[in-house]
Amino acid sequence: MIAAVAENDALGKDNTLLWHLPDDFKRFKAITTGHTIIMGRKTFESFPRPLPNRPHIIITRDRSYKTSYSECTIVHSLEDALNLVDREERVYIIGGGEIYTQAMSVSDELEITRVHESYEADTYFPPIDTKIWKLVKEEHHPSDEKHAVPFSYLTYKRS
């Protein structure tokens, strides 16, 4: 899974991000490009168009949901999404909150950008249980002229 998460586990509000971190966008692009990304419908609809060079799997309960984008596949459960990619070496789950919660038990790595601030939100990342997840890499990014808040890149592996 890959996510930007505030100190209080906030992800977003009204289907938008709560911060603007250009370096995190660049990292997200570098990590996910060339790999299938799995997301919920609301996450997909928060993009102006599909992200380039990444097959998209969109999970929705709405059986009539359609998209005209050829790089997008619609499924109706996380299990269906995972069955489509079972032979792929690396796949990224990119949100939102409900999909992250469902995927926590089947994921083997978390790429977290921990935003060092708390926010009011309507969508949250599930708690990271450090008995299950081991922090294997950490890189701090201070606030600067392009980033109003400091953040850290954290990589967790299932222990």
- CA torsion, ordered 80, 32, 88, 131, to nearest 10 deg: -80
Spell out, as residue ranges, where the chain has pLDDT lower than 50.
Answer: none
**pLDDT for residue 97:** 96
Percent of the chain, pLDDT > 70? 100
pTM: 0.96
**pLDDT for residue 7:** 98
pLDDT in tens, 15-24: 999 999 999 9
* CATH number 3.40.50.970 given to 2-158: no
Distance CA 52, CA 48 (A): 12
Q: Which of 45, 108, 110, 111 is nearest to 82 (CA)?
A: 108
Q: Which of 57, 95, 49, 99 is nearest to 75 (CA)?
A: 57
**pLDDT for residue 149:** 98
Distance CA 26, CA 23 (A): 5
Mean pLDDT value across the chain: 97
Domain ranges of the chain: 2-158
Sequence-distant (6+) residues with CB within 8 A of 67 are: 44, 58, 74
